[in-house]
A and B are shown apart, each in its own frame.
Chain A
Amino acid sequence: MTDAGNLIWLPLYGLFYIAVMLFWTRVAARENHNHETYFSAGHTLSPWIAAITIAGASLSGWFLLGGTAEISARGFSQPAILQAGIILALPGVLFFKRMWFVGQRLRLSSQPELFRSYFDSDFLVVVSTAVAVLFAVGFAGLQLRALSEIIAALSGGMISQLVVSVFLGAVLFAYVGIGGMRAIGYFGVIQTVLALTGVVGLAGVALVGSGGFAALNEGLQTLAQSPDGTGLFLVAGVIEFSAGLGRDAVVGHSETALTSFGIALAFMGFQASPLAAKIILSTRNANGFAAGQTWVMAGVVGGIIAFGIAIIGAAGLINPQLSLGGMLAQLQAESPWFMAWLFLGVIAGVQLLAGLALLTAGESLVRHVYKPYFHSGLSRLATVNLTRIVIALLTLGSVLMQSLTPVTLSALGALALPLSFQLWTPLLGITWLRWITKSAAATGVGFGIAGVLLTEPLGYQILSFLGLELPWGRWPWTIHSAAWGMAANLVAVLIISAITNRNAFGEEAQEARRFLQSTLRVRSRARALSSTAWSVVLVWGFLAIGPGLVFGNFAFGAINEAGGAWLVGMPSIWAWTLLFWALGVGLVWFLSYKMEMASPYVLEIPAYEPPRKLNRDRSSAERERSRTLVVTGAIAFVLIVLVTFSFGG
């Protein structure tokens, strides 16, 4: 087939994708009655739709685009990547059921609302909104940029990266802007199925290209015996006391067991993000969380990551022509219909995450920041329309940044997961740990953000720009910024909770606490198992994602320049990861069902009716706030310009 003939398949499959997208957007818009249930699908998404959409959004394109690239470049030295299915399922088990119950009782539909109702904290609302914006513009923007570059390369330079970005952005806006949460849920199912198929298919192609699973492992074995290859199959100790990337050289390589642990914590940030909360709080009932986390997330997605992503990465490690980009180019030349079908899965996965992030960010900015502080009289229709405009602006901003400021985009994208992980402490306060006070939750998150910023490039580059050189670089002591942030977060939460009033909560928080305690009381059988559960979780965490990873270096044999063998025919660390993935599925099942942390629970939940309050006219205060915002914005702009002229360059 000619090159021109090959080029037709991706646009052809793309047209099908757009036709299906438009169909489901139309269905969603009709069921929404345009704006009535735009934000949360009327809390009617089926549990199975929610489970699949969360799995797809969690998988996104990162594991295929970023995860495979990491393995192709650094080998199996970061096993946490392959353990992602379990890592993502655990926070779901911990939070989703209780979060849904609180949301349903107080009739809440998003994370900022949850924070406002429970903690009455404007700071947490703003942080949650900022995290959503980071996911929408930075995290998803990075993946969309990677996709655009691949498509531009596949077109042989006929289409520029900018044009592809604009096109993908337009498709995104079309279904998110028109169909809202319902369109994301409905179309998300198809996108997830396509994304999972894409990973499985590409893993199959990688295996065929490598000559089969045995040949792939023989290639890895040969690589392990080369002088530079041994380190690719080893976790470099538990910790390395280096000053961080960009500041200090480390002995061997910088991927220690604690790096993996930190990466695992960052992954856990996704389930604490406002994006995951958006899907949970749009769900009809709590009956699907256990199955969703156990079988869909830990089982299917976990298995696909532990096998599929590993195979694609390993193939690229042995032969760079079998890396994702190389493989797609080869498929484009030989089997363009396969390439189009599988690559559509990658696009679908990224678009699912980007769409969800855009809706959450748009809603947060308009409904939870602009409306309550600046324009409380905004009608529902006007709120929806304004959200659509904000979504369009965010999409445009992301598209422009993808082309014009990729470095800034990368720095922003790197913050999304670790910052989101800092929201664990307020969520723990709402769902489990009643002793976390309002001030402790807000201060803890503040300290957590500082911890993340000071150990990520964006933070220390800003300080460097202002003339303050930090003595450390990215991820000091080979510990990820998510872990540094959480260390600061936890210290602040513990101290401040100890010294502040634990009963100083508003009426809605008190009601949420009463409701959770009365309805989700753990039965005696589960209570009896709690010490077993703690022990099993700690042991699994220690061995699968913690310091115990170093045992995986040699548990199933070791190979180095002097020789040796892998007992199961594959790298010991990979076999270790697969073993703990299988055990992890059992762990998630045990926690979900036996410990009743996510088990189905049928209950008609009546809405809480707060005592009636007089509605005061807030228009003058809101006008004053708007004026203050404009003046502050102008002063900030002038200051930034002055600082740039004074210190920049």
Chain B
Amino acid sequence: MSAKPNTERDLLVFSIWAVLGFGGLAFLLEGFTRDSYLISLLGIALIVAAFVAHIIVNGLFHQGFGPGETALGIGSFGVLIFTFIAGVLSGGMSMVDYYAGLTLFAVLTVGFIAYLSTRHGLRGAFSRFHVKTAVSEDSGR
């Protein structure tokens, strides 16, 4: 049995996130600790680079994000937002931390919309969230 293309794609994705994802996280945390917007920005850039590399690998293997990956991505995004809001409400955040966090979420959101639009088109991107019911499918339109 030969190694399936999926396995090779998954290996590349794991490797990308092990380097760029964890590296980005480390720089982001370093930026928060040192109150340095530049270091945080470097972390954000690495995370964006991880996404870009992930999308390139998807393209090479003619695949999209898997259901597990989507769930993990959206889940992580939710946890990050929750942590950020909790940080803001607790009052322990500096302005640099605040702007670094906003930059991260803005970049991720814009990137997400840009990805969907380029992959599925503007109308198609919206349709990704539109639940097609049995009735609408049977309507014959």
**B18 CB contacts on chain A under 8 angstroms:** 20, 190, 193-194, 197
Indicate if B30 sits at the interface (CB-CB under 8 A).
yes
The CA-CA distance from A49 to B8 in the complex, in Å, is 8
The CA-CA distance from A337 to B11 in the complex, in Å, is 24
Q: Provided the pairs A27-B7, A42-B1, A190-B15 are in contact, do residues A337 and B26 lie with their beta carbons within 8 angstroms? A: yes
**B10 CB contacts on chain A under 8 angstroms:** 27
On whether the beta carbons of B2 and A20 are closer than 8 Å, the reply is: no
On whether the beta carbons of B23 and A341 are closer than 8 Å, the reply is: yes
**A201 CB contacts on chain B under 8 angstroms:** 23
Q: Smallest distance from the beta carbon of B101 to chain A beta carbons, Å?
A: 17
On whether the beta carbons of A338 and B26 are closer than 8 Å, the reply is: yes
On whether the beta carbons of A335 and B19 are closer than 8 Å, the reply is: no
Indicate if A189 sits at the interface (CB-CB under 8 A).
yes
Q: Smallest distance from the beta carbon of B13 to chain A beta carbons, Å?
A: 10
B interface majority secondary structure: helix
For B2-17 the 0/1 string (1 means CB < 8 A from A) is 1100011011001100
On whether the beta carbons of B25 and A337 are closer than 8 Å, the reply is: yes
**In this complex, what residue of B is CB-closest to A16?**
B22
Q: Provided the pairs A193-B15, A335-B33 are in contact, do residues A341 and B7 lie with their beta carbons within 8 angstroms? A: no
On whether the beta carbons of B3 and A45 are closer than 8 Å, the reply is: yes
**In this complex, what residue of A is CB-closest to B29?**
A337
For A27-46 the 0/1 string (1 means CB < 8 A from B) is 10001000001000110111
A interface majority secondary structure: helix
**In this complex, what residue of A is CB-closest to B28?**
A337
The CA-CA distance from A193 to B14 in the complex, in Å, is 10
Q: Smallest distance from the beta carbon of A308 to chain B beta carbons, Å?
A: 15
**In this complex, what residue of A is CB-closest to B25?**
A337
Partner of B11, one of A44, A190, A338: A190
Q: Smallest distance from the beta carbon of A230 to chain B beta carbons, Å?
A: 39
Indicate if A284 sits at the interface (CB-CB under 8 A).
yes
**A186 CB contacts on chain B under 8 angstroms:** 7, 11
Q: List A residues 190-215 near B (Cβ within 8 Å).
A: 190, 193-194, 197, 201
Q: List B residues 58-79 near A (Cβ within 8 Å).
A: none
Indicate if A435 sits at the interface (CB-CB under 8 A).
no
Q: Smallest distance from the beta carbon of A564 to chain B beta carbons, Å?
A: 40
Q: Provided the pairs A189-B15, A190-B14 are in contact, do residues A49 and B3 lie with their beta carbons within 8 angstroms? A: yes
Q: List A residues 167-201 near B (Cβ within 8 Å).
A: 186, 189-190, 193-194, 197, 201
On whether the beta carbons of B19 and A194 are closer than 8 Å, the reply is: yes
For B23-57 the 0/1 string (1 means CB < 8 A from A) is 10110011001000000000000000000000000
**B19 CB contacts on chain A under 8 angstroms:** 193-194, 197
On whether the beta carbons of B30 and A46 are closer than 8 Å, the reply is: no
Q: Provided the pairs A49-B8, A194-B18 are in contact, do residues A341 and B1 lie with their beta carbons within 8 angstroms? A: no
Partner of A44, one of B2, B23, B25: B2
For A464-506 the 0/1 string (1 means CB < 8 A from B) is 0000000000000000000000000000000000000000000
Beyond the given A335-B26, A335-B30, A335-B33, please list 19 additional residue pairs across the A-B interface where CB-CB is below 8 A: A1-B33, A20-B14, A20-B18, A24-B14, A31-B1, A37-B1, A45-B3, A46-B8, A49-B8, A49-B11, A186-B7, A189-B15, A190-B11, A190-B18, A197-B19, A284-B2, A337-B25, A337-B30, A338-B26
The interface of chain A, by Cβ under 8 A from chain B, is 1, 13, 20, 24, 27, 31, 37, 41-42, 44-46, 48-49, 186, 189-190, 193-194, 197, 201, 284, 335, 337-338, 341
Q: What would 28 A/B residue contacts be, using CB atoms closer than 8 Å? A: A13-B22, A20-B14, A20-B18, A27-B7, A31-B3, A37-B1, A42-B1, A42-B2, A44-B1, A44-B3, A46-B3, A46-B8, A49-B11, A186-B11, A189-B11, A190-B11, A190-B14, A193-B15, A193-B19, A197-B19, A201-B23, A284-B3, A335-B26, A335-B29, A335-B33, A337-B25, A337-B29, A341-B22
The interface of chain B, by Cβ under 8 A from chain A, is 1-3, 7-8, 10-11, 14-15, 18-19, 22-23, 25-26, 29-30, 33
Pick the 7 closest A-B CB pairs, nearest first.
Answer: A193-B15, A337-B26, A44-B2, A197-B19, A337-B29, A338-B26, A189-B11
